[in-house]
Amino acid sequence: MDVERLQKVIANSGYCSRRKAEDEILKGNVSVNGEIIKEMGYKVNSNDVIIVNGVKLDKSEKVYVLLNKPRGVITSVSDDKERKTVVDLVQIDTRIYPVGRLDYDTTGALLLTNDGELTNLLTHPKNHIPKVYMAKVEGIITGKEIHELEKGVVIDGKRTMPAKVKLRKLDKDKKVSMVELTIFEGRNHQVKKMFLKIGFPVIKLKREKIAFLNVKNLNSGEYRYLNPKEVKQLYSLTK
């Protein structure tokens, strides 16, 4: 029977990150088979009952869902204002949660899973997972501004990583531009803030791809399950 360190099992369950799991263990908030464990590196197996802050860890089979998120849906498991969430759109009994975030008015590719390990790997800045966005922005963007985005701009006091930028369309009558932007990190409201920094407010935003996964064959609100090969590919991107 396979044994693994307690903090890793907690993180893999999706309850929290490994660092947070270590904090919970040190604080005495974790029990295994009814016994409080404060020992870092304590080994557990698949039969052990693990409870963190009164919550029993879910050991369900791993599930991976790609959703084409519609506008006006919250990227969350629940919402105190009772607005529709991305989890409401997926008909599944297993508890899953979104990997990263898309704003309320942003559409497109969103992963949902109960695999905490993959979630941590995909969202960790060091792994540089590419995410491709299509942005409709106010104004006629030029090569100068495109170059600014490519080399990185300062938002919230920190420069963004170099990005890939392609001008897709200009409408000089309506004074709007369609720009494809690929970023390799996932900071809060990053794409909107990057365009705003160079003076081009975002009118409409869609995430078209996460790594190699796109939503071309999914209508708004539709989803599909990833196959084992795709899951393996996602893991390989983080190695």
- Please list the active-site residues: 103
Strands 176-183 and 202-210: unpaired
Q: What is the CA radius of gyration of the chain?
A: 20
Nearest to residue 69, comparing CAs of 109, 39, 33?
A: 109
What distance in Å separates the CA atoms of residue 56 and residue 47, rounded to the nearest whole number?
13
**Token pair 């899973």: residue:** 113
Tokens coding 94: 């297993």
Is residue 150 within 8 Å of 164, Cβ to Cβ?
yes
What distance in Å separates the CA atoms of residue 28 and residue 26, rounded to the nearest whole number?
5
Contacting residues for 156 by C-beta, under 8 A, at least 6 apart? 187, 188, 193
Contacting residues for 23 by C-beta, under 8 A, at least 6 apart? none
Residue 46's CB: how many other CB atoms inside 10 A?
10
Contacting residues for 157 by C-beta, under 8 A, at least 6 apart? none
Collapsing DSSP to helix, strand or coil, 146 comes out as helix
